Every structure is written in C-alpha cells, then in structure tokens.
Structure 1
C-alpha cells in the first residue's frame, strides 16, 4: 500500500534511510545527518512524501517536490528509497509510477532526476524502462564510497500527454 508518510512512518523508516545515506552510493546527503534533519529534508521540504507499507512494515518511500520555480515550476523532482530487504520486488517501479500520477495531479508536466549515480545500474535501467531518458552526464559528480569519483546522469521524462 502506498500512502502519505507520517512522522511515525519516517521514524520507522529511519534505519533504512540512515543506512542508504551512510553507504554513500546513491544519495548526495550528509551521511551524518540526524533523524530530525532527515525528516526535514525528506518529509517537510517536499510537496508530498509517500511510503510503501506491507504487513505493517515501512519498506520504501519517495518524495515529490518542485525542481525549479517560476517559468520552470512545471518540472518536478523525486527521490526514492527502498529497504535492502525489499529490493528486487518491483516496489521502486510501483513508487515511480505512483509518483508520475501524483505529479500530474499536482500540476507538474515533467519529471527530472538531477543526479542518478551512474554506478546505480539497476535504477538507471528501471528509469529508462519507465520512459526516462539520460539528457546529460555530469563527469565525476559523485564521490562513491567504493568507486571514488563517478559520473551522474540527469534523467528526464515529459509526463503530460495533452501538452507538448
């Protein structure tokens, strides 16, 4: 089930969130942030944050927020996290599809991922199968904990089928 995230949900999700930022393989977040800083970043600043819950366990989450303002306010940005025990089960795909529907409901016309780490091959492949394109490569944009400096991709998808 996908629903809006509560503070209690985030607290339950915190071990996954913290593990992901500590790994320094996918997110350019401070690996030493506190639970409260994480909550502000993931749940308060975005327009909305959602959670995927199964059998009472918080397994994944995503946020949706503006990618820009003014004349580019129609572009949104999302971030997704899935717990290690729930990976490979299609949850990220479900969250991404859900986020695209929510984006349109919120008035967004396009979605852009600003920094998909090139070594995160599963995510790159998934986003491409869901219609996203790599529109730019940022050389050495991410200092990966295991691989050192690696490229990041800017990925983009136009969502609104009625306006182009």
Structure 2
C-alpha cells in the first residue's frame, strides 16, 4: 500500500519494515529526551520492545516511504485492560506533514475497534512541547504530573505528564 497525493497511510508493520522503523527510533532513543529507553539500546532490543505483546506496531507511509511508526495495545492487564496505551515516533522529514496527527487518529480508531474504552499516555516528558501540544490538539487531557520524574540530558530533572482520553464519547 502506498499513499496518494502526499497523504500518510497507516498500515500494520512487518519485519520487512524493521530497517525503516529503526531509522526512526534510533535518533529519538539516542537523544534520550523523550523516551524512558536506554540511549545505548541495541537495534535488536529496540525492535523487540516496539513489537512486543501486547502491542501492535504500525507504520505511516507517505508516497511509499515510511515516515512514522506507532505501537498500540493495552496499558495494563486484568481490570484495567480496557485502557489502551500507545507510543509514536516520526522521521524528521515528516515534520509538518500530518504524519503524527494521522498516527494518533489511527491509534484511537484502532483502539476503539479493539474494544478499548480509553487511551492513556503514561509518561509524556513535559519538555516535549510538540508532543504535548499534538496530544492536547487530538483531545487528550493532562490528568497527572509526575514531578522531576525524567532526567533530561539537557534540562536535568523535568516533569512527566500522564495524558488521557475517553474513547467512548461519554458512553457507559
């Protein structure tokens, strides 16, 4: 599948996408500014984590090129298994092209289709202003703040945010 007219198309990721996904994740992880992942994580371990159950991995293609990736799945098992979680990463070339917006819209739709009633982001680094703005624009609320929970390589200890969105539209 490829997109038409520069629009992002989201599809399930496969092992054939590993190189493209790693090319997106590696600089993000190496920077150490947004994810609680060791900055020296190996390609193999990063991909194992990204594709690990209970998550389903996706890629966003624009004109046949993978410019973004997400993984979506349940946040916690048991009595909390109705709440989804997701992570997103985009290639620098994706900036301003609607790739992140398309990935989050897809994640919410996919989660609803899987029977999830809500989506929660457990740990959004507060200095990641683009992500915080994007998620708020997509309807997520900041429902919690974890003071000094993330050791940022440039800013020192910064807060992490918990963000949440009801996916039921207020339905019980």
Same fold per TM (> 0.5)?
A: yes
**Other-structure match for 1:122:** 130
2:169 to 153, 161, 164: 161
User: RMSD of the alignment, in Å?
Assistant: 1.2
- Contact 1:140 1:150 (C-alpha < 8 Å) held by counterparts: yes
**Other-structure match for 1:15:** 23
2:96 to 88, 98, 102: 88
List aligned pairs for 1:11-160, cutoff 5 A: 11-160=19-168
Q: Deviations over 1:117-162 (max 9, x none)?
A: 1011111111111111000000111111111111010000000126
Q: Displacement of 1:163 after TM fit? A: 2.5
Structure 1 segments unaligned to the other structure (5+ residues): none
Q: Deviations over 1:98-127 (max 9, x none)?
A: 100000111100000001110111111111
Measure, in 2, the Cα distance between the counterparts of 1:71 and 1:6: 30
Q: Displacement of 1:55 after TM fit? A: 2.6
Secondary structure of the structure 2 residue equivalent to 1:8:
helix
Cα 1:87–1:10, aligned 2, differ >3 Å: closer, same or farther?
same
Cα 1:153–1:162, aligned 2, differ >3 Å: closer, same or farther?
closer
TM-score by length of 2: 0.91
Measure, in 2, the Cα distance between the counterparts of 1:46 and 1:31: 23
- Contact 1:7 1:39 (C-alpha < 8 Å) held by counterparts: no
Number of corresponding residues = 164
Measure, in 2, the Cα distance between the counterparts of 1:46 and 1:145: 30
Measure, in 2, the Cα distance between the counterparts of 1:42 and 1:87: 22
Measure, in 2, the Cα distance between the counterparts of 1:16 and 1:39: 11
- Contact 1:21 1:29 (C-alpha < 8 Å) held by counterparts: yes
